[in-house]
Amino acid sequence: MSRPIAPTHTPVLPRRVPPVTGEALLSYLTRLAAANHLTIGEVLAVLPTWFTTKTNNPDERAQHHMLAPATTDALHALARLTSTTPAGLARALPAFGTTDTHGPVRATTACHRCTARRGILQPVPVHLPAHHKICTRHGIWLSDTSQAHLDLAACPEIITAQHRANRLLRRHTPQQLLLTYQAAAKSIPPWPTSPAAIPLHWRHRLLTLQTANHRYGTPTDHDAYIHAAIYPDAITLAAAELNPHPAGPE
């Protein structure tokens, strides 16, 4: 690591574009280029080749040993180009390998209400920690990539369950939480045991979600509905498994 940092000749773009948390590098560079009336090729041309290699890699989060030594220089070049701080970029963009996405992650798009507030109208691909299912600020279920997000306003207990899952992380690792949650979700009965049990069963919640999201034109048949409907039950079971004898509020 004794290599001196080469003097940088990176230009500075006139328009600043803050990254979205977890944003894919190619998405960020594309938005950066568009805001400055440039092509993505023109932006890549003034950055170290690290960026071209990264954006061509299907898994930009992989930290290849050949690329790792150049990562710090790349980060500083991008910070200079965008008039932002290396720390802020490193925190937001998983491509630099320093975000909190070292645990299990999943690909989704950022909450559209969060991005709309910042004037971003297109979907923003992101990698989020796998346990992060919901934008709790806006009550949006962040479905996996290619599936529509769901409005959870009609089922506030799903949002409450995300807060509960976050609290479980104070004493358990993301891996522990994810494995326990996945096992719990599989163990939940697919149908109510009797007609009297229907109002308490997750299928009742499923119907509420489908009805509420129908007005956005969201198809009612994708898996995200089931994952969201089952989520409070799965987190309750996971919490009981992880904290069999809770000493107080978890």
Contact residues: Zn ion, CB under 5 A: 111, 113-114, 135, 137-138
CB nearer to Zn ion: pick between 6 and 121: 121
Q: How far is CA 98 from CA 35, 90, 174, 210, in A?
A: 26, 6, 16, 38
CB nearer to Zn ion: pick between 26 and 114: 114
Residue type, position 29, single letter: L
**Whole-number minimum distance, CB 136 to Zn ion, in Å?**
8
CB nearer to Zn ion: pick between 135 and 152: 135
Three-class secondary structure of residue 239 per DSSP: helix
CA distance 204 to 208: 6
For the chain, the 3-state helix, strand and coil shares in percent, each to the nearest 5, are 50, 5, 45
CA distance 159 to 176: 21
Q: How far is CA 61 from CA 10, 97, 210, in A?
A: 24, 6, 35
**Whole-number minimum distance, CB 216 to Zn ion, in Å?**
15
**Whole-number minimum distance, CB 247 to Zn ion, in Å?**
33
Q: How far is CA 211 from CA 33, 151, 202, 228, in A?
A: 40, 11, 14, 14
**Whole-number minimum distance, CB 118 to Zn ion, in Å?**
11
**Whole-number minimum distance, CB 32 to Zn ion, in Å?**
22
Record the tokens describing residue 250, joined without a space: 């978890």
* Nearest residue to 70 (alpha-carbon basis) of 93, 54, 87: 54
Whose CB is nearest to Zn ion? 111
CB nearer to Zn ion: pick between 78 and 110: 110
**Whole-number minimum distance, CB 100 to Zn ion, in Å?**
18
CA distance 210 to 199: 16
CB nearer to Zn ion: pick between 82 and 218: 218
* Nearest residue to 250 (alpha-carbon basis) of 157, 177, 147: 177
**Whole-number minimum distance, CB 132 to Zn ion, in Å?**
12
CB nearer to Zn ion: pick between 124 and 234: 124
* 8 Å CB contact between 106 and 147: no
CB nearer to Zn ion: pick between 23 and 60: 23
